[in-house]
Amino acid sequence: MEKLEQLGIVPVDYAVLRSLYSNYHFPRNKIASLEEEGKIIRLKRSMYVVSPKVTKQLLSAELIANHIYGPSYVSMESALSHYGLIPEHVYTLRSLTMNRSKKFTNSIGNFEYITINRDYYPIGIRQETIENKYTFLIASIEKALCDMIVITPQLRLQSEKALITFLEEDLRFDMSALDNMNKDIIKDCIKVGRKKDILKLLLNLLS
């Protein structure tokens, strides 16, 4: 059990597990039995995470999302929920990526990855470190909001009033968060992102 505990809650690939049990005649069989016993959890083909019942630590869906498919960062309602700025529980953890769009489902949950362009991707991404144990990539509040606007299909807002209605009624966003937002991130998104007119409305709302 100690071998697994040292991995913590960071997802690992099959090669790492195989190296842990290289002294076994058939490491593949050992890994299969660990999965059957519920000591490791399969996230996708050849990627696993150690079960909380072994590590005695809660898993991080955000950390798992970063590892399942990348490069990617957690964003949109998944990031806003993480920050406590929308009340809804998010059932699909959504991330943005420069690669092809993908969806994964495992025993942890549903993970969706949405493609955006390379110039827009790196804006407003931050590293969040939890208890000095692990770090994951997540959109800043500003980028998560911009991503919601850019990615939401058929979103046509033509006034600040319409944008406020979208934020308050559709997202149920905590509007007090607007007071401390970084305008530069939104300006950078306007330069290279889609739906520039709506992003400009968001920028004006902060002025």
Provide the domain count of the chain: 2
Rounded alpha-carbon distances, angstroms, from residue 41 to 29, 56, 105, 134, 200: 15, 14, 12, 18, 44
- pLDDT at residue 141, as a whole number: 98
**Residues 172, 79 share a domain:** yes
pLDDT score of 170: 94
pLDDT value of position 88: 78
pLDDT of residue 89: 80
Range of the domain at 46: 2-55
Q: What is the pLDDT of residue 1?
A: 55
- C-alpha dihedral over 78, 66, 199, 190, to 10 degrees? 170
CA distance 195 to 189: 10
Of 55, 77, 96, the domain-final residue:
55
Burial class (CB in 10 A: 0-12, 13-18, 19+), 57: middle
Integer Cα distance of 74 and 126 in angstroms: 10
pLDDT of residue 19: 92
* pLDDT of amino acid 33: 95
For the chain, residues with pLDDT lower than 70 are 1
pTM of the complete model: 0.93
Statement to judge: residues 133 and 197 lie in one domain: yes
User: Do 83 and 153 have their domain in common?
Assistant: yes
The single residue listed with the structure tokens 């990539």 is: 137
**SS3 label, residue 156:** coil
What integer pLDDT is reported at residue 57 of this predicted model? 92
* Amino acid at residue number 125: I
